[in-house]
């Protein structure tokens, strides 16, 4: 039986609205060791009583990453909006616990888990068996990063450092310095992995690659792309295709292709969704585009691209397919409108189909002879892809961990130089490597909330895509196995943000993702635990 809960502000008692539910949430905040959280909760509870539904939905969307299961549970049980609004305290309680523990992340996570378990056990008893199988996700992003980092961290950079030292012909007692690394790494690359892009480009024609992407979409998801004329476009270079289901001929959406550079166009390559798919009031199909900046050639002369640019084309087309395959009710949950550490998973996964023999034999044809790209050259490309991965992963992880720790530091004063040095020492950063983005110019941290504490998401998406690709490589039908492709469509590409990503991935793969596939893909030694 719970005793009374009293919250004081400036020495005066403050009433707690909302009955037993609010009382228990305030208790959780106080148990986590921070009066500030309890005060914040009282404000949230009072404000929540008059919250309009659209405001509530916006708040719930912001909270999904912090406590997705608890929020989903309140909807399932019909809990009142002010109680959902009060879930803000769980994030405050977790942050307070971290400060209280003086940086003890393990202890903080245990406190946060215990708080959420009490919330489930005492506030959501009707959830029953639904809540039991799911672990706490209060620090989901942190747990993901730590899992990948602990598995890989200390065995990533060491062998590339040894290679560079050997290239420098120095003894181990005279290790290279960070400013030496790239110079000697380039010597290793030339000696072991040298790949001339000019050998590859003749086989990679822009229009052939577009046809290859269409073919892959047809094999995986049964989509056909039909050219459309007469639709308005922003420039004559832009072409349009209608996307239809192969069997039913049902209209799926429109795909715009804007491949060439021109004055006033932004640089790079990207995907746009001009209209999201929805079924709210009526069926509304999506309109998406893929955009690039290739230099347009003379009429009749094929445009040749690098292997990296070909991978980028498949990557951005993966985003487009994520939008085209969407089959949800609400436009705000449609297509690529998913959490930051999940949105790159479908696109990075689609890159794998570029190197499949079925694609290369049909579409990677020499622009003069028509011969397919030779297997020894493909093997050379695959071998070169593993070069320097230890360095790249270590420098990336260093920045990701500094980003996360900065955001976990709360409101205490920070000396950036000391903080960076202490963090790198704590994670065991090899002295021969520096972090990819030094703190003063780390734009992901300060440029907006999109990547705040989320720089890790690139590697997590890579972890998911590597693990998902092995679902195909292990299947009887290989890269084009119909059963695996159907599960990918049903549980990943078509679901948008209507299902928690962890649950969606588990439904597709039959288990949670592991790091072993990523380690194999990058050429690292793995253990049974990975």
For residue 297, pLDDT beyond 50: yes
Instruction: Quote the longest CA-to-CA distance of the chain.
Output: 86
Q: Where are the beta strands (DSSP E) in 235-393?
A: 239-245, 251-260, 270-275, 286-294
Per the domain annotation, does 59 fall within a domain? yes
For residue 135, pLDDT beyond 60: no
Cβ(397)–Cβ(455) below 8 Å: no
CA dist., res. 110 & res. 7, Å (int): 25
In this structure, the answer to whether residues 220 and 330 fall within a common structural domain is yes
Query: Looking at per-residue confidence, does 308 or 419 come out higher?
Result: 308
Q: What is the DSSP letter of 411?
A: T
Question: Which pLDDT value is given to residue 33?
Answer: 42
Both tokens of 360, joined, read 């290369």
- The predicted-structure confidence for 44-90, as pLDDT tens digits, reads as follows 444 443 343 344 344 434 433 333 333 333 333 333 333 333 343 34
CA dist., res. 163 & res. 530, Å (int): 24
Mean pLDDT of the 253-280 span: 96
In this structure, the answer to whether residues 326 and 231 fall within a common structural domain is yes
Per the domain annotation, does 349 fall within a domain? no
Question: Which pLDDT value is given to residue 513?
Answer: 92
CA dist., res. 173 & res. 527, Å (int): 29
- Note if the pTM is more than 0.75: no
Question: Which pLDDT value is given to residue 121?
Answer: 44
Question: Which pLDDT value is given to residue 92?
Answer: 38
Per the domain annotation, does 483 fall within a domain? no
Both tokens of 271, joined, read 């995907």
For residue 43, pLDDT beyond 50: no
For residue 299, pLDDT beyond 60: yes
Per the domain annotation, does 443 fall within a domain? no
Question: Which pLDDT value is given to residue 15?
Answer: 52
Per the domain annotation, does 149 fall within a domain? no
Question: Which pLDDT value is given to residue 527?
Answer: 64
Question: Which pLDDT value is given to residue 396?
Answer: 84
| Domain end position, chosen among 320, 339, 358 | 339
Mean pLDDT of the 441-448 span: 71
For residue 168, pLDDT beyond 90: no
Q: What is the CATH number of the domain that holds 219?
A: 3.40.390.10
* First-to-last C-alpha distance (Å) of the chain: 44
Does 72 participate in catalysis according to the annotation?
A: no
What's the chain's average pLDDT? 75
In this structure, the answer to whether residues 132 and 218 fall within a common structural domain is no
In this structure, the answer to whether residues 308 and 211 fall within a common structural domain is yes
Full residue range of the structural domain in which residue 286 is found: 206-339
For residue 292, pLDDT beyond 60: yes
Percent pLDDT > 70 in the chain is 65
Per the domain annotation, does 215 fall within a domain? yes
Question: Which pLDDT value is given to residue 469?
Answer: 98
Q: Which of 69, 140, 311, 316 is catalytic?
A: 316
| Domain end position, chosen among 339, 363, 379 | 339
In this structure, the answer to whether residues 213 and 329 fall within a common structural domain is yes
For residue 387, pLDDT beyond 60: yes
Query: Which residues does 220 contact at the CB level (< 8 Å), separation at least 6?
Result: 353, 480, 485, 488, 489
Per the domain annotation, does 292 fall within a domain? yes
For residue 289, pLDDT beyond 90: yes
Q: What is the DSSP string of 259-294?
A: EE--TTPPSS-EEEEEE--B-SSS-B-EEEEEEEEE
For residue 194, pLDDT beyond 60: yes
For residue 417, pLDDT beyond 90: no
Cβ(138)–Cβ(116) below 8 Å: yes
Which of 227-231, 263-267, 286-290, 381-385 bottoms out in mean pLDDT, i.e. has the lowest? Answer: 381-385
Question: Which pLDDT value is given to residue 315?
Answer: 96
For residue 30, pLDDT beyond 60: no
In this structure, the answer to whether residues 242 and 129 fall within a common structural domain is no
Question: Which pLDDT value is given to residue 86?
Answer: 35
> How many independent structural domains does the chain possess?
2
- The predicted-structure confidence for 210-231, as pLDDT tens digits, reads as follows 999 999 999 999 999 999 999 9
In this structure, the answer to whether residues 211 and 332 fall within a common structural domain is yes
- Strand 7-9 relative to strand 12-14: parallel, antiparallel, unpaired? antiparallel
Question: Which pLDDT value is given to residue 4?
Answer: 46
Q: Residue 43 to residues 17, 86, 115: CA-CA distances in angstroms? A: 10, 9, 20
Mean pLDDT of the 333-340 span: 93
Cβ(62)–Cβ(10) below 8 Å: no
| Domain end position, chosen among 92, 108, 138 | 138
Query: Cα-flanking dihedrals φ and ψ of residue 123, to 5°?
Result: -100, -25
For residue 32, pLDDT beyond 50: no
For residue 280, pLDDT beyond 60: yes
Mean pLDDT of the 5-34 span: 48
Per the domain annotation, does 404 fall within a domain? no
Question: Which pLDDT value is given to residue 56?
Answer: 38
């Amino acid at each position: 039986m719970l005793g009374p809960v009293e919250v004081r502000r400036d020495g005066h008692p403050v009433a707690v609205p909302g009955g037993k539910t609010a009382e228990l949430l305030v208790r959780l905040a106080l148990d986590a060791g921070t009066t500030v959280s309890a005060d914040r909760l009282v404000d949230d509870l009072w404000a929540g009583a008059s919250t309009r539904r659209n405001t509530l939905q916006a708040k719930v969307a912001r909270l999904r990453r912090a406590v997705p299961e608890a929020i989903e549970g309140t909807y399932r049980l019909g809990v009142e909006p002010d109680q959902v609004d009060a879930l803000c305290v769980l994030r405050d309680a977790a942050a307070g616990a971290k400060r209280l523990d003086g940086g003890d992340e393990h202890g903080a996570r245990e406190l946060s888990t215990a708080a959420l378990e009490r919330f489930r056990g005492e506030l959501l008893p009707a959830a029953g068996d639904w809540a039991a199988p799911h672990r706490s996700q209060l620090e989901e992003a942190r747990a993901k990063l730590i899992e990948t980092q602990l598995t890989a961290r200390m065995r990533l950079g060491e062998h590339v450092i040894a290679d560079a030292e050997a290239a420098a012909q120095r003894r181990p007692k005279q290790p290279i310095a960070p400013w030496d690394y790239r110079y000697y790494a380039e010597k290793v690359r030339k000696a072991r992995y040298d790949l001339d892009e000019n050998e590859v480009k003749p086989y990679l024609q822009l229009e052939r690659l577009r046809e290859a992407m269409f073919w892959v979409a047809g094999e995986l998801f049964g989509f056909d792309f039909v050219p459309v004329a007469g639709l308005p476009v922003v420039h004559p270079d832009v072409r349009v295709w209608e996307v239809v289901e192969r069997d039913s001929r049902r209209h799926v959406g429109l795909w715009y292709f804007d491949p060439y550079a021109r004055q006033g166009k932004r640089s790079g390559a990207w995907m746009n969704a001009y209209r999201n798919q929805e079924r709210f009031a009526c069926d509304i199909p999506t309109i998406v585009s893929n955009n690039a900046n290739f230099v347009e050639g003379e009429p009749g002369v094929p445009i040749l691209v690098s292997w990296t640019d070909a991978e980028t084309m498949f990557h951005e087309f993966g985003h487009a397919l994520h939008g085209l395959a969407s089959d949800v009710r609400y436009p705000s949950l449609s297509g690529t409108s998913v959490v930051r550490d999940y949105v790159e998973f479908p696109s990075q996964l689609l890159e794998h189909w570029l190197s499949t023999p079925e694609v290369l034999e049909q579409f990677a044809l020499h622009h003069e002879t028509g011969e397919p790209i030779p297997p020894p050259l493909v093997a050379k490309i695959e071998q070169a892809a593993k070069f320097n991965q230890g360095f790249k992963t270590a420098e990336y992880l260093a920045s990701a961990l500094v980003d996360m720790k900065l955001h976990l530091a709360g409101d205490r004063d920070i000396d950036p130089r000391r903080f960076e040095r202490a963090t790198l020492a704590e994670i065991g950063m090899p002295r021969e490597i520096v972090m990819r983005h030094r703190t003063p110019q780390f734009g992901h941290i300060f440029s907006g909330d999109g990547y705040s504490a989320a720089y890790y998401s690139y590697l997590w998406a890579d972890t998911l895509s590597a693990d998902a690709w092995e679902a195909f490589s292990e299947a009887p039908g290989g890269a084009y196995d119909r059963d695996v492709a159907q599960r990918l469509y049903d549980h990943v590409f078509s679901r948008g943000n209507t299902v928690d990503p962890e649950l969606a991935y588990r439904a597709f793969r039959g288990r949670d993702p592991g790091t072993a596939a990523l380690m194999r893909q990058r050429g690292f030694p793995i253990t049974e635990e990975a």
